[in-house]
Chain A
């Protein structure tokens, strides 16, 4: 037996958590090279195998690395805000081992060369794995279909116009029809653009602050329209960052009616509400906007009852130049890679979800939705792991974030849940400097 086989790492004394199989037990896990080769409750209780490097988890949780299906990586084109490398470091610190970029880069990811660029660049960096969605329409202009069949073959996981809605109903209908022909997933930013001309949620707060509102109906109308088009075409449709009670309910009913519909939300929308805007805090300027408390609670309810399939960070780096402005003029968006895990764990801490249930939303569920070989603890799969203490408290301090941009809406918040180690393909990528 090759006792000295290089690259064997034994994770001992771990609380193994695998949402896919329901495993939650103390045990150990062995990796060899890039893959998981063994895991079991009670494994290595009598000592680690000879020759393997030992990582003592000290009773902490060991789970599949997080899969973040909605991030803006800003490369190529806006590397002053974020790059594959800086986002990769932020992801690693957040326990995210796979992240999926949006196509709203410069140039737009709407041809095969751009998809291949992302794959090649990201591979060279070797931090969290980078995947990409591609444009649904050429140049994200909402007019002509992008070559989504060829883009899929090049490796794009799904098709979306990023932070813009596919607004034209005929274009959306043809897109869904065409996507259904090739069984491709269409991701919508569900917001009617002609209504969403404001800068924060419509309502009393916007009125008091003298800011233009974005009505909840912008989301509701687009989702209702889209459900009709999905019913007509039979396509696979995913609504990004659902933020309203009615939006959650529309998805709930569509699922009950048998439509092939899924949705996600971001931590902002179940952990924060419009009060965060406070005294014109531009870090709380998000798209869709933070809503009222009733909507926040409905999003939590949607997560608890399974209507919302996935939690994605909706990581949107904006530099100081675009955020340090009067609220009305500041850019939309907040970063979220490093806070995805602890804010998701808040759902467990508040009793809305079990630990496995919450982890499922950031591991197995997004991986399955996008067809990624990730999000599971299983022998033979790539060793993408996160070791974390679910209870350890810390304070989010924007300036210490690893993202190039520091625009965290959670700046100053106290959270619980700390990443101890992140492993990608068997290699530790966090903490920095770990072998």
Chain B
């Protein structure tokens, strides 16, 4: 049965989702947290279903998280790590999609280094597609797990003040979080040098700060981003040393935030680059490990929901062949 509270075939991004749809996903995910904490984690909600993790970019934690989320609900999981370095990406992407589609998976989880690639792939298949991160565009399950972490800790999302700090320019995590948090009535601040936080970000309904101390003042949540040196071509910052001096999260800068402010990071962390170990490992403030835990619960909810929605929609979809554009 299609879930009336979330009548979508794919989860390609947060942008465009309504507040009730997001709440619904978070409610469903919340229900899986206790299941994961119990000794017997298995359920059969996805028995007989097939999930393919199709990763065109290296990933350990996200792929593992999706894999566990599917297996704990009794689904079959295939992991495909595709090298992108030596082939023409567009052609390979569509060929791969069409080939996999012919094997009738229920859900494809796709990560790709190019923005928009997951949407392109989704147009060529008649299963459900979950965006596991596309370039610098979106990473919807990360935003959902961040929101679930915040909601469980603070009891709400609206009215909170969240600072997202660092390499916004290259971050799909930042974009998904901006969409989710602004949709849910959270105040969002972006903090970083203008080379990494373009002034045009302000058009997304956020406040932009270049001074981290000012930006962190009175924030409830401090969300750090990884400095994505692998996506940087050219001069965005003079040096890691200077970056840490002005934009690394340390005790001194953190003291500007609210005393009960939580520290988040999507991982993997560059210690001493964007975050001081002293702060990252503060068990009273840092919820970085909890984010990982919520990740599995969120992905369980998303996979099961989309697999369930598929019953109604898939049978009516024409098969899309290799020639279909």
- Using CB atoms and an 8 Å cutoff, list the residues of chain A in contact with chain B: 138, 143-150, 170-171, 174-175, 177-178, 180-182, 233-234
B195 touches A174 (CB 8 A): yes
Interface centre among B193, B195, B245 (most CB of A within 10 A): B195
* Majority SS at the chain B contact face: loop
Which of B192, B194, B235, B245 is in CB contact (< 8 Å) with A149? B245
A234 touches B195 (CB 8 A): no
Asked if B6 lies at the interface with its beta carbon under 8 angstroms from chain A, I say no
User: Known contacts being A150-B245, A233-B194, is A181 close to B238, with CB within 8 Å?
Assistant: no
Q: Which residues of A contact B85 (CB under 8 A)?
A: none
29 A–B pairs (Cβ distance < 8 Å), ordered by A: A138-B238, A143-B235, A146-B238, A147-B238, A147-B242, A149-B238, A150-B241, A150-B245, A170-B234, A170-B235, A174-B195, A174-B234, A174-B235, A177-B193, A177-B194, A177-B195, A178-B193, A178-B235, A178-B237, A178-B238, A180-B210, A181-B192, A181-B193, A181-B194, A181-B210, A182-B193, A182-B210, A182-B246, A233-B194
In the complex, per-residue mask of B213-255: 1 if CB is within 8 Å of any chain A CB, else 0: 0000000000000000000001111110110011000000000
A145 touches B235 (CB 8 A): yes
B238 touches A148 (CB 8 A): yes
B242 touches A150 (CB 8 A): yes
Asked if B199 lies at the interface with its beta carbon under 8 angstroms from chain A, I say yes
A289 to B50, CA, bound (A): 74
> What's the minimum C-beta distance from A133 to chain B, rounded to whole angstroms?
16
In the complex, per-residue mask of B244-272: 1 if CB is within 8 Å of any chain A CB, else 0: 01100000000000000000000000000
A178 touches B195 (CB 8 A): yes
Q: How many residues of B contact A (CB 8 A)?
A: 16
User: Known contacts being A149-B246, A150-B242, is A144 close to B235, with CB within 8 Å?
Assistant: yes
> What's the minimum C-beta distance from A228 to chain B, rounded to whole angstroms?
16
Interface centre among A145, A180, A233 (most CB of B within 10 A): A145
Q: Which residues of B contact A181 (CB under 8 A)?
A: 192-195, 210
A145 to B241, CA, bound (A): 13
A234 touches B199 (CB 8 A): yes
A171 to B238, CA, bound (A): 11
A180 touches B238 (CB 8 A): no
A233 to B237, CA, bound (A): 15
Which of A143, A147, A174, A178 is in CB contact (< 8 Å) with B241? A147
In the complex, per-residue mask of B177-192: 1 if CB is within 8 Å of any chain A CB, else 0: 0000000000000001
A144 to B199, CA, bound (A): 22
Q: Which residues of B contact A148 (CB under 8 A)?
A: 238
Q: Which residues of A contact B235 (CB under 8 A)?
A: 143-145, 170-171, 174-175, 178
| Residues 255-298 of B contacting A (Cβ, < 8 Å) | none
A277 to B201, CA, bound (A): 53
A150 to B195, CA, bound (A): 17
User: Known contacts being A149-B245, A180-B210, A181-B210, is A144 close to B238, with CB within 8 Å?
Assistant: yes
A177 to B195, CA, bound (A): 6
A171 to B195, CA, bound (A): 11
> What's the minimum C-beta distance from A138 to chain B, rounded to whole angstroms?
8
A181 to B193, CA, bound (A): 5
- Closest B residue by C-beta to A235: B194
A143 to B234, CA, bound (A): 8
> What's the minimum C-beta distance from A306 to chain B, rounded to whole angstroms?
29
- Closest B residue by C-beta to A138: B238
Q: Which residues of B contact A149 (CB under 8 A)?
A: 238, 242, 245-246
> What's the minimum C-beta distance from B163 to chain A, rounded to whole angstroms?
16
